[in-house]
Chains A and B, each alone.
Chain A
Amino acid sequence: MSTFYFIAFLSIFFSILVITAKNPVHSILYLIVTFFTFTIHYILMNAQFLAIVNFIVYMGAILVLFLYTLMLINLNKESEPRKSNLVKIAGFIGGGCFLMTILAALKAFKVSQPVILRDPNLGLVKNLGKILFNEYLLPFEVSSILLLSAMVGAVLLATKDHKTT
């Protein structure tokens, strides 16, 4: 349990650094460390497959793309978009409302009744695969179609300008 608290502390610490870092590239690097602590959380919960997939997909692919884009667009003080005061106030009120909702939800949540897994080895590749492809086959396939449609949409958006001009 003390490992969990230590790793949880690290996750929160680095995620705070993500939003306080001045340099966007540094903030992405902190985000990578944050995701790494999530991987450790998954391993502590015996969810090996989820851990390694989080490692490969989030740390190894998505954040590389984040870094790639940041390096290309060259963010600095001059190109930073200026926001008007009205937007800032609206953002503050919106964020405050969100915080209130989260706090209220936490209050209703009963900590004394944690969710207990029926099978502690559920996270191993074999068990996960069997459950995904037997019990949850339909949701699995539907979510893959959802991802495919998102991909097609992204390609369409990217190529739209070329055809018209």
Chain B
Amino acid sequence: MGIAELLIKIALVVIIFLVSLVIAMYSTYAERKVAAFLQDRVGPDRAGPFGILQPLADGGKMFLKEEIIPTNASPFLFIAGPSLAILTACIGSAVIPWGQRLTIGAYTFNLQVADINVGLLYIFGVISLGVYGIMIGGWASNNKYSLLGAVRAASQNISYEIAMGLSIIALLMTTGTLSMRHIAEQQSGFWHGHWFTWNAFSQPLGFLIFIVCAFAETNRSPFDLPECETELIAGYHTEYSSMKMGFYMFSEYINMFVSSAVMATLYFGGYNFPFMHHLGLSENWVSILGVIALFIKIFAFIFFFIWVRWTIPRFRYDQLMDLGWKVLIPLAIANIVITGLVITFLK
């Protein structure tokens, strides 16, 4: 790897990191505006035109607030919890292909940080690590509500990881690869032969299971039992203040962003858009349009996350476990069997 390639990779990492943070910031704004719209309110409108500076004001508030570490909390783990949460949230985006090749001067490079050939499993591993931030923080707070929130987060993540893994297996049977870039390339264009190329059309049930599990893994409503306000005050982050609380909130929104990107890449064609090969544009322009298409899909998914949060009430704990173990896992196994039969007999 030459110096130029290294610089390009570093630039890509910095850009993705900044974009993740900005999108996470403005997701909080979007969340409050959409909530206000759905509840027939105005929402934040004081800071800047339409309240557009509200996230900055919130960020400033988080930095300047007094930092409190409870007397009986374990000090190292209390700080390690939110740090781990934000770390695992940020490293997931490394294997997502953000666009096709881009040629600048003599250099041609992929808009992706790392094209490892177990990319999908890497994402899965990062997701399964995500729960540690919550568990360690909840335990270190030395508070009954936090502990209960942490325990709930653990059992919920473990339960939904199984269904998520099984839905991915059905996807792997159709794509035959674990590399995120190959999966995105296979969905090139929109229509090929006699069927859509996007995986959502060949794996509708798998996509449904995956999106439900993604909601559960990101602890978003209706699966936000770890921070259920009515029962557990705020769950695992009850004792947290200032920026450590901010880190937990940020990690939730970054997780939402990354899982939207994963869903767009795996099931909705990633950076591909209809008629991409018929526009007569140069490769660079198609790549740039592809990045824009991917971000439109990501924003659509983020909007969907927010929309569901302000529409569907929270599950009860036993309903959550029933849905995970008795509905999603059998459905995912049935999906694998159906996919296998279709592949064997139709192709």
Residues of A within 8 A of B118 (CB): 48-49, 52, 125
Say whether A67 contacts B154, CB under 8 Å: yes
Q: Within the complex, which residue of B77, B122, B127 is in contact with A52, where a contact is CB–CB below 8 Å? A: B122
Interface 0/1 of A88-113, CB less than 8 Å to B: 00000000000000000000000000
* Complex Cα spacing A55 to B127, Å: 11
Residues from 50 to 80 in A contacting B, C-beta threshold 8 Å:
52-53, 55-56, 59-61, 64-65, 67-68, 71-72
* Complex Cα spacing A29 to B84, Å: 13
Residues of A within 8 A of B129 (CB): 55, 59-60
Say whether A72 contacts B125, CB under 8 Å: no
**A25: Cβ under 8 A from any B Cβ:** yes
Interface 0/1 of B148-159, CB less than 8 Å to A: 001100110110
Residues of B within 8 A of A29 (CB): 77, 136
Which of A29, A49, A60, A65 has the most CB atoms of chain B within a 10 A radius of its CB?
A: A60
Residues of B within 8 A of A65 (CB): 154, 158
Residues from 116 to 147 in B contacting A, C-beta threshold 8 Å:
116-118, 121-122, 124-125, 127-129, 131-132, 135-136, 139, 147
Residues of A within 8 A of B132 (CB): 32, 64
**Chain B residue at minimum C-beta to C-beta distance from A52:** B121
**B224: Cβ under 8 A from any A Cβ:** no
* Complex Cα spacing A29 to B137, Å: 13
Say whether A60 contacts B125, CB under 8 Å: yes
Q: Within the complex, which residue of B77, B116, B139, B158 is in contact with A64, where a contact is CB–CB below 8 Å? A: B158
Say whether B161 contacts A60, CB under 8 Å: yes
Say whether B139 contacts A25, CB under 8 Å: yes
**A124: Cβ under 8 A from any B Cβ:** yes
Interface size on B, residues (CB 8 A): 25
* Complex Cα spacing A59 to B125, Å: 9
**B234: Cβ under 8 A from any A Cβ:** no
Give min CB distance, B203 to chain A, whole Å.
20
* Complex Cα spacing A59 to B132, Å: 10
Say whether A124 contacts B154, CB under 8 Å: no
Say whether A71 contacts B117, CB under 8 Å: no
Residues of B within 8 A of A71 (CB): 135, 139, 147, 150-151, 154
Interface size on A, as a range, is: 20 to 34
**Chain A residue at minimum C-beta to C-beta distance from B80:** A29
Are A61 and B158 CB-contacts (below 8 A) given A25-B139, A55-B125, A125-B178? Answer: yes
Compute the total of residue contacts between A and B using a CB distance below 8 Å: 61
Residues of B within 8 A of A68 (CB): 135, 151, 154-155, 158
Say whether A125 contacts B158, CB under 8 Å: no
Residues of B within 8 A of A61 (CB): 128, 158, 161
* Complex Cα spacing A29 to B151, Å: 16
Are A124 and B158 CB-contacts (below 8 A) given A52-B125, A56-B125, A61-B128? Answer: no
Residues of A within 8 A of B155 (CB): 68
Interface 0/1 of B67-103, CB less than 8 Å to A: 0000000000100000000000000000000000000
Interface 0/1 of B239-254, CB less than 8 Å to A: 0000000000000000
Residues of B within 8 A of A60 (CB): 125, 127-129, 131, 161
Which of A29, A68, A124 has the most CB atoms of chain B within a 10 A radius of its CB?
A: A68
* Complex Cα spacing A92 to B236, Å: 41
Say whether A124 contacts B121, CB under 8 Å: no
Say whether B125 contacts A64, CB under 8 Å: no
Give min CB distance, A157 to chain B, whole Å.
18
Which of B122, B125, B131 has the most CB atoms of chain A within a 10 A radius of its CB?
A: B125
* Complex Cα spacing A60 to B158, Å: 8
Give min CB distance, B148 to chain A, whole Å.
9
Residues of A within 8 A of B135 (CB): 64, 67-68, 71
**Chain A residue at minimum C-beta to C-beta distance from B127:** A60
Residues of A within 8 A of B158 (CB): 61, 64-65, 68
* Complex Cα spacing A56 to B157, Å: 12
CB pairs A–B below 8 angstroms (19 shown): A32-B132, A48-B118, A52-B118, A53-B121, A55-B128, A56-B128, A59-B128, A59-B129, A60-B127, A60-B129, A64-B128, A64-B135, A64-B158, A65-B158, A67-B139, A68-B151, A68-B154, A68-B158, A71-B150
Interface residues of A (CB under 8 A from B): 25, 29, 32, 48-49, 52-53, 55-56, 59-61, 64-65, 67-68, 71-72, 124-125
Across the A-B interface, the 4 shortest Cβ-Cβ residue pairs: A60-B128, A55-B125, A68-B154, A52-B121
**A48-B117, A55-B128, A64-B128 given. 16 additional CB < 8 A pairs?**
A32-B132, A49-B121, A52-B118, A53-B121, A59-B128, A59-B129, A60-B125, A60-B131, A65-B158, A68-B135, A68-B151, A71-B135, A71-B150, A71-B154, A125-B117, A125-B118
